[in-house]
Amino acid sequence: MKFIKKIVVCMLLLCCAFTFTACNKDDKIKIGILQSATHSALDAAREGFMKALEDAGYDDTKVTYDFENPEGNPANMQLMAKTLVRKCDIVLGIATDAAVALKVAAETEGTNIPVLFTAVTDAVDASLVESNEHPNGRVTGTSDINPVADQIALAKQLKQDLKKVGILYTISETNSKVQADMAIEEIEKEGLEYLERTVTGVTDIQQTLKKLISDGAEIIYIPTDNNLAKNMVSVCNIANESKIPVICGKENMVKAGGLITFGVNYTKLGEMVGAMAVQIIEGADPKDLPVGRLSQDECNLVINTSTVSILGIEIPSEIMEKATKVTTE
């Protein structure tokens, strides 16, 4: 009896909680966004997405956004994915784990809403789509696969007599591993040697990096790695001290002290998936929309001039002319 009473009390509390929620039922299009964590690149993708929709005429009067961010907590991610999938007409997953969570949630709930993704490196590996050309399902989006080949080519341009390229990334980040594997392939194609070293967290970055440098890496390549991006300042302090140039996966890493990047512009990536959302709202079927990738001219060449002067190296003039110049923040 007491037990039943308690359950009733719990239920009452639940009801109370809901009297505070406003129930607005209207014919606006509901777009749910699930972003796996707060991160400048992912934030940029989200802003790009919303901007593209607004530019296409879908402003506040026509769409409402429901934004959720579990800050990396996997259980809450599932909960939020389910909530969004039920409430919204279209959902967007930013980063691989969020996209997978949304896709699985839509399947388990048996709803048929389109699921978009962005900032996913390998959508096929994550079973989001059947192939990049023909997604063949309710899921499609844009991939942030880096122009790794061009990044490695940069290394060659920076240092003519280059022999050994060091690759550094965090072992637990799937996206980084995909890029590191691609980089290794490119490096081997160029007939160079590579040194692959991984870190597991924050604490072992220093030692791993120092070992990498003492093992003879002449240039260090770091893919779009979230852990290293966060700790880029300490990475660059060590590398710059040893006069080793760092080629990074994305712009914010250069701003933190990395030398150069030729990387994905996340705002543009977000705009691209935003344009796909517009097409879907206007009647396109997600299965007909191939997974988008930025073309070479939509990528950013960014160079950090403060790092250039610390390293005291000569940058080829054609790179200097094309690049956006930034200084260490």
Partner 1 sequence: MLDTLRFILNDALNLGFAYGLLALGIFISYRLLDFADLTAEGSFTLGGAFVAALIFNGANPFLATLLSIVVGFVAGIITGLLHTKLKIPSLLSGIITMTALFSINMILMGIGKTGKFDSAVYLGNSKTIYDYIGIFKQKYLNIIVVNFLVITLATMFCYWLFGTEFGMSLRATGMNQKMARAQGINTSFMIIIGLGISNALISLSGALTAQTNQSADCNMGVGTLVIGLASIIVGEAIFGKRSFLNWIISVALGSVLYYLIIGIAINLGLDSYLLKLLYAILIIIVLTAPFIKKGFMKLKRKES
What would the x/- binding string for partner 1 be over residues 18 to 57, using CB under 8 A? x-xxxx----------------------------------
Mode of pairing for the β-strands spanning 300-304 and 260-263: antiparallel
171 contributes a contact to partner 1 by CB under 8 A = yes
What would the x/- binding string for partner 1 be over residues 187 to 226, using CB under 8 A? -------------x--------------------------
Whether the CB-CB separation of 280 and 286 falls below 8 Å is answered with yes
What would the x/- binding string for partner 1 be over residues 112 to 141, using CB under 8 A? -------------xxx--------------
317 contributes a contact to partner 1 by CB under 8 A = no
65 contributes a contact to partner 1 by CB under 8 A = no
290 contributes a contact to partner 1 by CB under 8 A = no
Non-local (6+) Cβ contacts of 46 within 8 A are 33, 35, 67, 94, 270
Q: Count CB neighbours of 231 within 10 A.
A: 18
CB-nearer residue toward partner 1: 203 or 317: 203
- What is the distance between the alpha carbons of residues 175 and 167, in angstroms, rounded to a whole number? 14
CB-nearer residue toward partner 1: 101 or 145: 101
2, HSE (Cβ side, Cα atoms, 13 Å)? 0
- What is the distance between the alpha carbons of residues 219 and 243, in angstroms, rounded to a whole number? 9
Helices (H) and strands (E) in the chain — how many of each?
A: 13, 12
17 contributes a contact to partner 1 by CB under 8 A = yes
- What is the distance between the alpha carbons of residues 61 and 28, in angstroms, rounded to a whole number? 7
Q: Determine which residue in the list 79, 192, 278, 315 makes contact with partner 1, applying CB under 8 A.
A: 79
List contacts with partner 1 (CB under 8 A): 3, 6, 10, 14-15, 17-18, 20-23, 66-76, 78-80, 82-83, 86, 96-97, 100-101, 104, 107-110, 125-127, 171-174, 177, 181, 200
